[in-house]
Chains A and B, each alone.
Chain A
Amino acid sequence: MGSIFLIMAAFLASAVEMVEALTIVLAVGVTRGWRSTAIGTLTATVALAACVAVVGPALVRVPIDALRLVVGVLLLVFGLQWLRKAILRASGHKALHDEDAVFRHELEGARRAGTAVRAGMDWYAFTVAFKGVFLEGLEVAFIVLTFGSAQGNLPLAAAGAAAAIVLVGVAGVLVHRPLSRVPENSLKFMVGVLLTTFGIFWSVEGTGIAWPGSDAAILGVLGLVVLSSCGLTMYLRYERKRVPAPALVAGDRGS
């Protein structure tokens, strides 16, 4: 059961972050050419894979109880960030992520930037593609590393993330424009729920307390997190309708 959730969390998180990275890569590639953009994308992907390959085996050597406590807290705090923003978006208190708008913004930036070709490379295209893929991918690497090591199955988490990268990559090549129809907020909501659930479960286990029903308790925690999140979304949506619309919550950093 844990393996299904593990692969699901890694796949969904990877898919949603790669959709955002794809938008940046497409905008830069269309405007500045594909060679430097592709090299920047590939370099970032290799750097992320190297991070997972170096940190992953080191984490596996940490005693499982200590690992689950630390990883549980990190996942919980990190997952609550995703969940908070997803609830704010779903309830209308924060603007939905608009891939078309991001694409237009990146396109404009890439057009305005001067050409600086050195050693046969367009360094603007390389840097923007690298940064876009690396920063979006870092969240995926974090989830793969923490979730995978605490579950004791890093390769499965990496496989889930890789499958999403391939899927989004192929879709991007075929469609050749931002994947704006992907329900990003729903996916982020699900990832937030999964990270929060496992964060709670492992943190409590890490303190030395046994859950009633052992691993089956994950389903109970999952149900509680889903119900509370949906309840909070409905409550905030109702409040937004009842009270004259305030300004949207600003900021769109990360998740």
Chain B
Amino acid sequence: MPYVIRFFQFWYDFVVGDDWSVAAGVLAALVVTFVLARHGVAAWWLLPACVIVVLFTSLRRSIRRSG
């Protein structure tokens, strides 16, 4: 069992890294984009905008944590 946990832990660290909020923000933005697409709204602009906001907040959080 510990091997299975370690396996998933490794891939989580590998893909998501040390700030889970980036992955959470990206997924949330994508879900909203998907829902809007199902309602006929071509929200191609939403994800790029959210990515910039997510990146900015993640950078601020990293700096605040170190300070």
Q: Which residues of A contact B (CB under 8 A)?
A: 73-74, 76-78, 80-81, 83-84, 87-88, 93, 138-139, 142, 196, 200, 203-204, 207-212, 217, 221, 224-225, 228-229, 232, 236, 246-251, 253-255
Known pairs A77-B23, A207-B37, A254-B14 / 20 extra A-B pairs, C-beta < 8 Å: A77-B22, A87-B55, A93-B63, A93-B66, A196-B51, A203-B33, A204-B47, A224-B48, A228-B55, A232-B55, A232-B56, A232-B59, A246-B67, A249-B62, A249-B65, A253-B13, A253-B17, A253-B18, A254-B17, A255-B17
Please give me the residue from chain A that is nearest to B23 by CB atom.
A77
Number of interface residues of B (CB under 8 A): 32
Find chain B residues with CB under 8 A from A209 CB: 33, 37, 42-44
Q: Which residues of B contact A (CB under 8 A)?
A: 13-19, 22-23, 26-27, 30, 33-34, 37, 42-44, 47-48, 51-52, 54-56, 58-59, 62-63, 65-67
Q: How far is the CA of A232 from the CA of B13 in the complex (A)?
A: 25
Find chain A residues with CB under 8 A from B37 CB: 207-209
Find chain B residues with CB under 8 A from A255 CB: 17
Q: Do B33 and A74 touch (CB < 8 A)? A: no
Q: Which 7 A-B pairs have the closest CB atoms?
A: A246-B67, A81-B17, A249-B66, A207-B34, A77-B23, A228-B52, A247-B66
- 21 A-B pairs with C-beta separation under 8 A: A74-B15, A77-B22, A78-B15, A80-B58, A83-B55, A87-B59, A88-B62, A93-B62, A93-B63, A203-B30, A204-B33, A207-B33, A207-B37, A209-B44, A221-B48, A224-B52, A228-B52, A228-B55, A236-B63, A251-B18, A254-B14
Q: Do B58 and A84 touch (CB < 8 A)? A: yes
A238 CB to nearest B CB, Å: 13
Q: Do B47 and A203 touch (CB < 8 A)? A: yes
Q: Do B16 and A246 touch (CB < 8 A)? A: no
Q: How far is the CA of A247 from the CA of B65 in the complex (A)?
A: 9
Please give me the residue from chain B that is nearest to A233 by CB atom.
B59
Please give me the residue from chain B that is nearest to A72 by CB atom.
B30
Find chain B residues with CB under 8 A from A203 CB: 26, 30, 33, 47
Q: Do A200 and B59 touch (CB < 8 A)? A: no
Q: How far is the CA of A250 from the CA of B63 in the complex (A)?
A: 10
Q: Do A88 and B17 touch (CB < 8 A)? A: no
Find chain B residues with CB under 8 A from A224 CB: 48, 52
Q: Do A80 and B55 touch (CB < 8 A)? A: yes
Q: How far is the CA of A136 from the CA of B28 in the complex (A)?
A: 30
B47 CB to nearest A CB, Å: 5
Q: Do B55 and A207 touch (CB < 8 A)? A: no
Q: Do B66 and A200 touch (CB < 8 A)? A: no
Contact of A73 among B13, B30, B52, B59 (CB under 8 A): B30
Q: Do A246 and B30 touch (CB < 8 A)? A: no
Q: Do B66 and A210 touch (CB < 8 A)? A: no
Q: Do A77 and B15 touch (CB < 8 A)? A: yes
Q: How far is the CA of A200 from the CA of B48 in the complex (A)?
A: 6
